[in-house]
Amino acid sequence: MSLQDIYQEILLAHNENPNHFEFMLDATHQAYGNNPLCGDEVTVFVKIENDVVKAVSFMGEGCAICKASSSLMTSTLCELSLPKAIDKTQQFIQLLSDTSTQIPDDLGELEALLGVRKFPARLKCATLAWHAFLKAITDEHR
């Protein structure tokens, strides 16, 4: 089995059975994002306590890349300090957006999304939830 096949399996698994795909009743922050070109719509819910991201979830409809990326994001950011979560989010968006960005060794399952770098039209699909996370925590109208 090739590395590409393994990445495809990871993305399909997260699309079919996403992590934290649920409405969060006690969210302290939330934001909506959409990608009209693909039809993706995502609402990201965040619970922050004492400057720590205690929980992240999402709801919505989207293509497999969007749903898998949203799922991976929820697991990646949970339990990080808010500054670290913001930094990690910005770094991930930069990593997918700029092919000259050095690929870190500690991506884990997020590495499965690196194939998006070859398909700029799918970039927004892979980063939609990440942008919604940033919007949720910075929006003054929480």
- Assigned CATH for 3-138: 3.90.1010.10
The string of pLDDT tens digits covering residues 13-25 is 898 999 999 999 9
User: Per-residue pLDDT for 4 more than 90?
Assistant: no
Reduced to 3 DSSP states, what percent helix, strand and coil does the chain have, rounded to the nearest 5?
50, 20, 25
The string of pLDDT tens digits covering residues 52-108 is 999 999 999 999 999 999 999 999 999 999 999 999 999 999 999 998 888 888 889
pTM of the full predicted structure? Answer: 0.93
Q: What separation in angstroms does the CA of 49 have from each of 26, 28, 85, 86, 129?
A: 11, 9, 13, 15, 21
Domain ranges of the chain: 3-138
- Asked if 116 and 125 count as a contact pair (C-beta separation under 8 A), the reply is yes
**Which whole number is the average pLDDT over 119-134?**
95
